[in-house]
Amino acid sequence: MCGIFGIVVKEEQVLGGTLLEASRRLAYRGYDSVGCAVIDRAGRIDLRKDAGKIEEVNDRLNFADMAGVRGMAQLRWATFGAPSQPNAQPHLDSDGDLVGAHNGNIVNHVALREQFIASGFTVRGTNDGESCVHAVERYVDQGDSVVSSIRKAARDLEGDYAFVIARAGAESPDEALYAVKQGSGLVVGIGDGFCCVSSDLPSILPLTNQVVRVRDGEMVTLHHDRFEIRRVEDGAVVDRESELFTEGMDAAEKGGYEHFMLKEIHEQPKAAEDLLHWLSASPHVDPFVSSIEAARHIYFVGCGTSYNACVLGAALFNRLAMKPAVPVLAPVFRETFAHTLSSEDVVVLVSQSGETKDVLNALNSARGSGATILGILNVLGSTLMHASDHYLLLACGYEISVPATKTFLNQTLLFYYLADRLRRTGPGERWDDVPSRIEETIRRTDGFSQEVAALLKPFHEMYYLGYGLTLGMAMEGALKLKEVSYAHCEGMLSAEFKHGPLSAVYDGYPVLFITAPDDAKMMINHVNEVTCRGGRAIIVGREDDLLRKSAHDYLPLPAVSHELSAILAAVPLQLISYYMSVSKGHNPDFPRNLSKTLTVD
């Protein structure tokens, strides 16, 4: 969801290739416009930008030959202003000696834009990133230094954002690049003869693994040989050491798979192993569990896939820990629950990225209530991580593909692990076996999943039904199918189907049931309600004779516990979506209109 990158080098050189490569590395976040700017030693700005995909725009504008000592690149995903050349970033100020680009949202942009126009500034587009540049221009024009102007501008800008800016012009030579972080990600990279800054690590790691994390409310000044972090509020310089990032970039490569999505599905056994290892060794687990144990009310809050994990997590808590937890869609949280929160309550915010704006809004609505804020996230250093009283990591490494796969499986495993620790009934899970069970599920269901994908492909709408623990799984399977195949699929409770949607069934109409062992008897009724009306029942679940006899197609899962069986169903559902997407000629890694990290309202 938008991304910025900037670099300062010692000697004048062709920077276009570096900017282009950085843009490609940011592309997984989703975008519809791309732009680059470089400043040469004489202070001239070369700005090229347009709406479109990186390669198309590059074919037209040839970023690769842009040369200078400072450069920046931006990928934009439209929120304020249509995808167009003037709205693409970076932006210039009125007289063209400031150039900058942002990521995030400036929520008071419309009011600011009116002020800038009334002051006679040259405002070229309707995008909020342009407001960042004019906000700095306002103070530079009054004679403030660039650092002071940026600090003052940051106080005028409302919202969650990060921006990068540079001053050019022969009259006031400046060799630095500046960046501000206020709510969106920002990381600095330190290399031999250069410093760079980016929204996230994948665009920095090919250049250097010496990194510095910038925090909210801070700005950074980059020179080719040094950096300086200071607080926006009072200008105080912050002493922060760089750190060596040791996880290799191979994590961001496809490793022989055609798509990241398929690679990430196959990485699930390893991701589960890493999660279980992290949980067994981490000092974060006990305080997290104790907070939940002591709570009066527990809320599991997330969006999209993370919300579906919350639905399954709440069912696991009810079943094993005898602790009721309420799964809540993040944008619903404030109005429905936040006003009644107290210090006895716990809000568990679940987000792969840790940057989803709807989730951060829910978090902000819980602040001040005294409730304990717990985070479950995959991205270390994310806003959610810093804002939580305690957090747990999903330990999945990079997830590049827009559809969440391994992070979802680990979210559900993490909920199961927590419920298992608080378990009041039954034997505990055989956790050591879990990674190999996931491996076995991939092996056993891959071929069947291809067959089911072929069977479903001609249908433009269908249902996935679950019951008990598999309700959240049915919702997730349906979301995944919609996301990458563009077919409509509704995930819902199988017991509810007869209360209305059953009328959709006709001869051959496909309904996919996801069942866990203890619910097989109940599910047989729901399956028969569909098949006796001519519907085609496809069942995903542990082997069961009666269920098999009721179904047209059966996708068997390994013989594991009721709880693990519900979780393992994620694997064939992911594979069905993947194969359907590819067979329709779509790119499952980057579904149209979607973005990996949704940092907007």
What residues line the site for ligand AGP (CB under 6 A)? 303-306, 351-353, 356, 359, 402-404, 483, 597-598
Least Cα distance to 471 among 549, 404, 526, 531 occurs for 526
Closest approach, Cβ 264 to ligand AGP, in A, equals 11
User: Which one of 263, 323, 480, 596 is the catalytic residue?
Assistant: 596
Nearer to ligand AGP, 231 or 482 (CB): 482
Q: At what angle do helices 109-118 and 128-141 cross, to 10 degrees?
A: 40
- Tell me the C-alpha distance between 243 and 359, whole Å: 29
2 included as an active-site residue: yes
Nearest to 462 by CA among 551, 548, 556, 530: 530
Number of H helices, E strands in the chain: 19, 25
Q: Rank residues 88 and 571 by Cβ distance to ligand AGP and give the closer one.
A: 571
Report CA-CA distances (Å) from 226 to 10, 181, 188, 193, 194: 11, 18, 11, 9, 8
Q: How far apart are CA 384 and CA 373, in angstroms?
A: 10
State the minimum distance, in angstroms, from the CB of residue 325 to ligand AGP: 18
Cβ-based nearer residue to ligand AGP, 16 or 375: 375
CB of 570 to ligand AGP, least distance (A): 12
Q: Which two tokens stand for residue 194?
A: 């250069």
Largest CA distance in the chain: 83
Angle at 257 between CA 254 and CA 261, to 5 degrees: 75
Q: Which of 2, 303, 310, 396 is catalytic?
A: 2
Q: What is the DSSP letter of 55?
A: H
- C-alpha torsion sign, points 49, 50, 56, 60: negative
Instruction: State the minimum distance, in angstroms, from the CB of residue 540 to ligand AGP.
Output: 19
Burial level of 204, CB count in 10 A (0-12/13-18/19+)?
Answer: buried
208 or 352, CB closer to ligand AGP?
A: 352
What are 258-263's contacts with CB under 8 Å, separation 24+?
A: 258/582, 259/401, 259/578, 259/582, 259/587, 259/588, 259/589, 260/28, 260/400, 260/401, 260/589, 261/401, 261/403, 261/405, 261/484, 261/574, 261/578, 261/581, 261/588, 261/589, 262/578, 262/588, 263/401
Minimal distance in Å, beta carbon 141 to ligand AGP?
Answer: 40
Nearer to ligand AGP, 69 or 598 (CB): 598
Cα separation, 456 vs 482, in Å, equals 12
CA distance 357 to 367: 15
CA dihedral in degrees (535, 540, 545, 550; nearest 10)? -10
Residue 545 CB, nearest distance to ligand AGP (Å)? 35
Q: Are 89 and 183 in contact (CB under 8 A)?
A: no
Q: Which is nearer to ligand AGP, 74 or 356 (CB)?
A: 356
Q: Which of 90/304 has CB closer to ligand AGP?
A: 304
Output the smallest distance, CB 353 to ligand AGP, in A: 3
Q: What is the DSSP letter of 183?
A: B
Sheet holding 510-514, edge to edge: 488-493, 461-466, 510-514, 536-542, 553-557
Which residue's CB comes closest to ligand AGP? 304
Q: How far is the CB of 598 from ligand AGP (least distance, A)?
A: 5
Closest distance to ligand AGP from the beta carbon of 473 (Å): 14
| Two tokens, residue 440 | 């076995």
Which of 105/353 has CB closer to ligand AGP?
Answer: 353
d(CA 38, CA 74): 12
Query: Which lies closer to ligand AGP via its Cβ, residue 390 or residue 480?
Result: 480
Separation in Å, CA 166 to CA 51, 187, 229, 516: 23, 17, 16, 58
- Residue 25 identity: R
- For residue 328, the minimal CB distance to ligand AGP (Å) is 13
**Residue (382 or 470) nearer to ligand AGP, CB:** 382
Residues tagged active-site: 2, 596
